Structure 1
Amino acid sequence: MLDFGLLLIRLVIGVTLMGHGAQKLFGWFGGYGPKGTGGWMESVGIKPGVLMAVLAGLAEMGGGLLFAAGYLTAVGATLIVLTMLGAIIKVHLSDGYWVDKGGFEYPFMLTATAIAIALIGPGAYAIG
């Protein structure tokens, strides 16, 4: 049961982050693509916006894929953690903890989950 639980966590977190990456990279799922996301990033002081949007999208897409697959899980988790720490520090920290106030609750939970899975390991149902 433990291995199935780890698989479930990896899939939900990994696929969700892949979706966030696709929003930034391709404008899918209601996202704004590199130009729109980059413009917003510039407005909150993250420059150069388009480049940072692409890098964040690649980190979320790649990290999510590795994490979901259980392949190089520590690398995938590291990409997730770095992206989420950037979001916490540059966007959400000043709004407090709770997500309904724009706070860092959601990226903090993703960070904690990625670290926990990296420490525990991906489980038996993993590519590598």
Structure 2
Amino acid sequence: MNHSRLTTSALTILRVALGFLFAAHGWQKFNEWTIAGTQAAFTQMGVPAANVAAPMVAVLELAGGIALILGVLTRVVAALLALDMIGAIVLVHAGAGVYADKGGYELVLLLGAAALAFALIGAGRISVDRAVFGRMNNKLAVLA
């Protein structure tokens, strides 16, 4: 297997896994916690405008996760998800330290860093972005 195929495979695996995790967290906010429960939790955690932020975050994580899985508008979606994770670190997790079992930021940092990486490099070859926009040097592909 050559380097290009390995890179394509690795990007696809990471993008799909990242998308799955974001979609799962969005789904959790809708179905397990409910939007009202998520709003209450956000309020308790000190998230500003929790009544607006909670449904926006739930939609972003669910729809954005699905978009990442498919590789649709990857750069834009990934940038928004990276901003979501920056907000989560700053507003909720930073004070608890690194470790997730203590409410820390380790998972949020990893999700945010991976999302930022996809915002910078795009979806890769196996994606809707590539199928729609074609070659990655296409001017429209820069946004995808």
TM-score (normalised: structure 1):
0.89
Q: Deviation of residue 22 (structure 1)?
A: 1.3
Q: Deviation of residue 108 (structure 1)?
A: 0.5
Query: In structure 1, what is the equivalent of residue 63 of structure 2?
Result: 62
Query: In structure 2, what is the equivalent of residue 81 of structure 1?
Result: 82
Query: In structure 1, what is the equivalent of residue 21 of structure 2?
Result: 16
Given that 1:14 and 1:68 are in contact with CA atoms closer than 8 Å, whether structure 2 keeps it comes out as yes
Given that 2:24 and 2:62 are in contact with CA atoms closer than 8 Å, whether structure 1 keeps it comes out as yes
Q: In 2, Cα distance between the equivalents of 1:56 and 1:63?
A: 10
Bigger CA radius of gyration:
2
Over the matched positions of the two proteins, sequence identity in percent amounts to 35
TM-score (normalised: structure 2):
0.80
- Greater shift, 97-106 or 5-14, is seen at 97-106
What's the CA shift string for 1:34-77, capped at 9, x where partnerless? 00111111112224333221011011112212222112111111
Query: In structure 2, what is the equivalent of residue 94 of structure 1?
Result: 95
Q: In 1, Cα distance between the equivalents of 2:122 and 2:45?
A: 35
Given that 2:75 and 2:123 are in contact with CA atoms closer than 8 Å, whether structure 1 keeps it comes out as no
Structure 2 letter corresponding to 1:2 = T
SS of the counterpart of 1:81?
Answer: helix
Query: In structure 2, what is the equivalent of residue 4 of structure 1?
Result: 9
Q: Deviation of residue 117 (structure 1)?
A: 2.1
Q: In 1, Cα distance between the equivalents of 2:77 and 2:48?
A: 24
SS of the counterpart of 2:47?
Answer: coil
Runs (4+) off by over 4 Å: none
Aligned CA RMSD, in angstroms, stands at 1.3
Query: In structure 2, what is the equivalent of residue 111 of structure 1?
Result: 112
Q: Deviation of residue 100 (structure 1)?
A: 2.2
SS of the counterpart of 1:123?
Answer: coil
Query: In structure 2, what is the equivalent of residue 38 of structure 1?
Result: 39
Given that 2:75 and 2:121 are in contact with CA atoms closer than 8 Å, whether structure 1 keeps it comes out as no
